[in-house]
Amino acid sequence: MTSNIVEIDNLSFGYKGRLLHKGINMVFPRGKVVAIMGGSGSGKTTLLRLIGGQIKPSHGEVRVDGDVVHKQDREGIYTLRRKMGMLFQHGALFTDLSVFDNVAFPMRELTDLPEAMIRDLVLMKLNAVGLRGAHQFMPTELSGGMARRVALARAIALDPAIIMYDEPFAGLDPISMGVICALIRSLNDALGATSIIVSHDVKETFLIADYVYFVANGEVAAEGTPEDLMQSKLPFVHQFVHGDKDGPVPFHYPAGDYRSELLQASSGQKG
């Protein structure tokens, strides 16, 4: 058993001739909370999809528990996915099922547990996220934060070894954000799992992550502990962590000369 449960080795991936990732290397040690950060469109969520085997890399490989993900057949992929739990950005709860049935879904589909045991397990998972009292609700009756917590209970339903979080803090109020933040850390430690968080919320992520990767321009731009990165003098990291308006990521989208464009427009109007 290797010390890293997930290893990304020289991975490149692209759509329609445009490379999104160019030779990325990352490791995710067992029991740790590791964050992948970067701007919108930097391919963070795509990395989660590559780890989950939903898409195949152009070059390089992703290894989960020693197995190369893209070389697995359908059964092999499903076996690997049984070790994973994933929290989607908006929860992705099944809208035709109640909160209880959503959490019970993976247990009913993937195990032969008797219904009485499933009931107890579901209530335990919901209790862990503080929503045991909401088990009879439908997803449409939940707030954004509650939906995210139910999705988290569903993601840990089968005690996965890897829990992946896709933008877990996006669109939440400060209280819900704090709750999710605390839950990610406490559940990771209680289950002895490895958590991979994809986010661009610096404050919350730095609070719970053991290690952080910054992705920019398809490469790992920086990596280290949250403390190291807070002190980093690297221009990109400094701009991202402190939220500077201008820097390596420019405020202005590339365009021609401002003055000449304005003059051209006014002369065109006169004509």
Partner 1 sequence: MMKSKLMLSMLHHLRGMGHRMIERTWRLGAGARLFFLAIVYSGESFKRFHLTLREIYFTGVMSLLIIIVSAFFVGMVLALQGYNTLQKYGSSEAIGVLVALALVRELGPVVTALLFAGRAGTAITAEIGLMKTTEQLSAMEMMAVNPIARVVAPRFWAGVISMPILASIFSMVGILGGYLVAVPLIGVDDGAFWSQMQANVDFSADIVNGVIKSLVFGVVCTMIALFEGFDAPPTAEGVSRATTRTVVISSLTVLGLDFILTSFMLVV
Query: Which residues make up the interface to partner 1 (CB under 8 A)?
Result: 52, 54, 77-79, 81-82, 84, 86, 88-90, 92-95, 105-106, 109-110
- Nearer of residues 46 and 239 to partner 1, judged by Cβ: 46
Helix (H) or strand (E) holding 75: helix 74-81
Q: How far is the CB of 118 from partner 1 (least distance, A)?
A: 15
User: Alpha carbon of 38 to those of 32, 43, 127, 137, 217: distances in Å?
Assistant: 20, 8, 33, 35, 9
- Nearer of residues 163 and 241 to partner 1, judged by Cβ: 163
Q: Which residues make Cβ contacts (< 8 Å) with residue 62, sequence separation at least 6? A: 6, 7, 8, 9, 11, 50, 51, 53, 68, 69, 70
DSSP code, position 97: S
- Nearer of residues 8 and 77 to partner 1, judged by Cβ: 77
Q: How far is the CB of 93 from partner 1 (least distance, A)?
A: 8
- Nearer of residues 30 and 90 to partner 1, judged by Cβ: 90
Residue 66: helix, strand or coil by DSSP? coil
Q: How far is the CB of 226 from partner 1 (least distance, A)?
A: 27
d(CA 45, CA 171): 16
Q: How far is the CB of 89 from partner 1 (least distance, A)?
A: 8
